[in-house]
């Protein structure tokens, strides 16, 4: 009786396994025949109450049935797993002969190319990069740079005031004061690239927002020869070995003496052309020896320490470098403009 039932179960299991079409169905079949609650297993536990001969015979039959079912299940499992993988691979097949998706590569704005180049040149000379706030106190933008209230030099740098004492910085020079104070009367050698703001009518050469790189060196025995040598090296690295510089006397309230620095025109090699308006030179920056008042106000004894400072207009350098005719092009984000400079960069 029991033996027949075992054979029936075995027969049933063979059919079930044979017809299983996927791994899920196979798992159900495995549960049906081999789980603790399966009929085969309950027959197994019923053996305890059978006679010794019966137990031996039935035990063997049960074990064989169980073994065969397990083997059949495992074989089928392998077949179905392979089938599932094949189907998955087929579904995910990529047609490598299809044309790919093309992505347009962006171009670095020549403004940033030039900022990075200038920064690299000065890093190579041992300068460090410093930063300061764009929203600045009148104290740092003017007072500590020897431009007291009502000083006529303020007119040249009219700006956007947040309130009476807070404004958008008109130049990167306030970072000079911040850095001098932060170094507690010790040496300083920094450059500071950053945005600056002035109340200006925007045209081809003016913008209410532009950028500068400030430079400041403070130490014992610094003289104007250091300023000239530093800027000459910068000019040659930036514009080419053949470029010469010229220092012209100028005026800034925070430097004394003050200079404008010109380089020989790259277009005509200093002979005179339309680009340099016949002079052979193009102005690239302002600078000078740090004014004793500025040293004093920011914690230095001008009898012991001296220094030089300079300010470079970044857009101006980029315009000269790439022959760009309108400063506004830097800010418009027109890809046609950017792509032209991608190749050069
Ligand atoms: N801050 C000056 C300007 O904006 C440039 C400058 C910087 C001049 C440092 C001298 C020293 O025009």
Q: What is the CATH number of the domain that holds 306?
A: 3.30.930.10
Let me know whether 133 and 249 are in one domain.
yes
User: How many domains does one find in the chain?
Assistant: 2
CA pair distance 29, 318, nearest whole angstrom: 76
With CA atoms as reference, report the closest residue to 163 among 136, 144, 145: 136
Let me know whether 318 and 261 are in one domain.
yes
CB half-sphere exposure, 139, CA atoms < 13 A: 6
Instruction: With respect to residue 211, please indicate whether it lies within any of the assigned structural domains.
Output: yes
pLDDT of residue 238: 94
Let me know whether 197 and 75 are in one domain.
no
**Cβ 309 under 6 angstroms from ligand 1:** yes
Which atom of ligand 1 is nearest the CA belonging to 313?
A: 4
213, 248, 287, 311, best to mutate for ligand 1 pocket (most atoms within 8 Å of CB): 311
pLDDT of residue 184: 93
pLDDT of residue 322: 87
Coil, strand, or helix at residue 144?
helix
Which atom of ligand 1 is nearest the CA belonging to 172?
A: 1
pLDDT of residue 232: 96
Let me know whether 47 and 147 are in one domain.
no
Let me know whether 140 and 79 are in one domain.
no
Residue ranges for the chain with pLDDT beneath 70? 343-345
Let me know whether 146 and 51 are in one domain.
no
Cβ neighbours of residue 275 closer than 8 Å, sequence gap 6 or more: 265, 267, 268, 282
Burial of 190 (0-12, 13-18, 19+ CB in 10 A): buried
For the entire predicted model, the pTM comes to 0.71
Percent of the chain surpassing pLDDT 70: 99
Full residue range of the structural domain in which residue 84 is found: 2-91
Sign of CA dihedral 317, 320, 321, 323: positive
Instruction: With respect to residue 190, please indicate whether it lies within any of the assigned structural domains.
Output: yes
149-158 contacts, C-beta under 8 A, 24 or more apart: 151/253, 153/252, 153/253, 157/198, 158/198, 158/199
Instruction: With respect to residue 103, please indicate whether it lies within any of the assigned structural domains.
Output: no
Instruction: With respect to residue 28, please indicate whether it lies within any of the assigned structural domains.
Output: yes
Let me know whether 206 and 295 are in one domain.
yes
> Hunting for tokens 């807070």 — which residue is that?
166
């Amino acid at each position: 009786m029991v033996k027949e039932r075992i054979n029936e179960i075995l027969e049933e299991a063979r059919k079930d396994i044979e017809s299983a079409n996927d791994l899920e169905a196979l798992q159900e079949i495995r549960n049906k025949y081999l789980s603790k609650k399966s009929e085969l297993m309950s027959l197994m536990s019923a053996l305890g109450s059978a006679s010794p001969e019966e137990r031996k015979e039935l035990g063997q039959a049960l074990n064989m049935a169980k073994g065969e079912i397990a083997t059949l299940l495992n074989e089928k499992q392998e077949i179905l797993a392979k089938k599932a993988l094949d189907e998955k691979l087929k579904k995910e097949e990529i047609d490598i002969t299809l044309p790919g998706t093309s992505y347009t590569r962006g171009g670095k704005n020549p403004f940033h190319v030039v900022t990075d180049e200038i920064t690299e040149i000065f890093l190579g000379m041992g300068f460090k990069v410093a930063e300061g706030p764009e929203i600045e106190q009148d104290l740092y933008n003017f007072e500590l740079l020897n431009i007291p209230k009502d000083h006529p030099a303020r007119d040249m740098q009219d700006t956007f005031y947040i309130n009476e004492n807070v404004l958008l910085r008109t130049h990167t020079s306030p970072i000079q004061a911040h850095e001098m104070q932060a170094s507690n009367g010790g040496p300083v050698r920094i450059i500071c690239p950053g945005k600056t703001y002035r109340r200006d009518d925007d045209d081809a050469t003016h913008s209410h927002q532009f950028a500068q790189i400030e430079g400041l060196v403070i130490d014992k025995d610094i003289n104007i020869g250091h300023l000239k040598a530093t800027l000459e090296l910068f000019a040659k690295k930036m514009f080419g070995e053949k470029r010469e510089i010229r220092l012209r006397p100028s005026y800034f309230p925070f430097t004394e003496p003050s200079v404008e620095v010109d380089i020989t025109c790259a277009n005509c090699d200093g002979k005179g052309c339309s680009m340099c308006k016949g002079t052979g030179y193009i102005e690239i920056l302002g600078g000078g020896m740090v004014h004793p008042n500025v040293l004093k106000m920011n914690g230095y004894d001008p009898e012991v320490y001296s220094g030089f400072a300079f300010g470079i207009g970044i857009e101006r350098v980029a315009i000269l470098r790439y022959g760009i005719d309108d400063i506004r092009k830097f800010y418009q984000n027109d890809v046609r403009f950017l792509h032209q400079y991608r190749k050069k960069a």
